[in-house]
Amino acid sequence: MTNWTHIDFIGIGGIGMSSLAQWALSQGMTVSGYDLRSSAITKDLSDKGASIRLNDQLDAWGIPDAALVVYTPAIPSNHPQLAAAIKGNHQVIKRAEMLALIANQGTCLAVAGSHGKTTTSAMLAWILHQGGIPVQAFLGGIANNFQSNAVIADSDLMVVEADEFDRSFLHLKPTAAVVTSNDADHLDIYGNEQGMQAGFEAFASKVQGALFTGPEVLGLGGKGYGKPSDTYRAEHLRIANGRQVFDLILGNQQYQGVTAGIPGRHNVDNAVAAACLAQNVGMGIETIAQGISSFTGVKRRFDVHINQEDVVYLDDYAHHPTELRQLITSLRELHPGREIAMLFQPHLYSRTQDFMQDFIEVLSSIEHLALLPIYPARELPIEGVRSEVICKALDASLQTEATAAAWLASHDKAIMVTAGAGDIDRQVPRVIANLQSRLS
pLDDT, tens digit (0-9, with 9 covering 90-100), for 161-209: 999 988 899 999 999 999 999 886 776 777 888 998 999 999 999 999 9
Query: What is the reported pLDDT for 61?
Result: 61
Separation between Cα atoms, residue 62 and residue 60, nearest integer Å: 6
Q: Report CA 81 to chain centroid distance, whole Å.
A: 26
Instruction: Return the DSSP state at 167.
Output: G
Query: Which residue in 72, 118, 119, 322 is the catalytic one?
Result: 118
Mean pLDDT to the nearest integer, 78-90: 84
Mean pLDDT to the nearest integer, 401-422: 96
Q: What is the DSSP string of 71-105?
A: E-TTS-TT-HHHHHHHHTT-EEEEHHHHHHHHHTT
Q: What is the DSSP string of 230-297?
A: SSEEEEEEEEETTEEEEEEEETTEEEEEEEPSS--THHHHHHHHHHHHHHHTT--HHHHHHHHHH---
94 is catalytic: no
User: What b-and-e string marks burial along 346-385, b requiring 16 or more CB atoms within 10 Å of the CB?
Assistant: bbbbbbbbbbbeebbebbeebebbbbbebbeeebeeeeeb
User: What b-and-e string marks burial along 2-40, b requiring 16 or more CB atoms within 10 Å of the CB?
Assistant: eebebbbbbbbbbbbbbbbbbbbbeeebbbbbbbeeebe
Query: What is the reported pLDDT for 275?
Result: 99
pLDDT of 436 strictly over 80: yes
Query: What is the reported pLDDT for 18?
Result: 97
Query: Which residue in 42, 72, 117, 180 is the catalytic one?
Result: 117
Query: What is the reported pLDDT for 64?
Result: 67
The fraction of the chain above a pLDDT of 90, given in percent, is 79
Q: Residue 403: which pLDDT band, with cuts at 50, 70 and 90?
A: very high
Amino acid in the structure at residue 294: S
Query: What is the reported pLDDT for 59?
Result: 57
Separation between Cα atoms, residue 424 and residue 420, nearest integer Å: 6
Lowest pLDDT segment from 50-54, 101-105, 427-431 = 50-54
Mean pLDDT to the nearest integer, 317-321: 94
In order of their start, the domains of the chain are 6-94 (3.40.50.720), 104-294 (3.40.1190.10), 303-439 (3.90.190.20)
- Furthest CA-CA distance within the chain: 63
Which residues, 6+ apart, have CB-to-CB distance to 90 below 8 Å? 8, 63, 65, 67, 68, 69
pLDDT of 375 strictly over 90: yes
Residue closest to 109 by CA, chosen among 280, 290, 282:
280
16-71: pLDDT as tens digits? 999 999 999 999 999 999 988 888 999 999 999 999 988 755 555 666 666 899 99
User: What b-and-e string marks burial along 216-250, b requiring 16 or more CB atoms within 10 Å of the CB?
Assistant: ebeebebebbbeeebebbbeeeeeeeebbbbbbbb
* Residue 272 vs residues 17, 88, 181, 288: alpha-carbon distances, Å: 28, 48, 13, 10
Query: What is the reported pLDDT for 184?
Result: 66
pLDDT of 388 strictly over 60: yes
87 is catalytic: no
Query: Which residue in 161, 322, 323, 418 is the catalytic one?
Result: 161
Instruction: Return the DSSP state at 380.
Output: P
Query: What is the reported pLDDT for 60?
Result: 54
97 is catalytic: no
Cβ atoms of 391 and 360 within 8 Å: the answer is no
Mean pLDDT to the nearest integer, 306-329: 94
pLDDT of 153 strictly over 90: yes
Q: Which residue has the higher pLDDT, 255 or 39?
A: 255
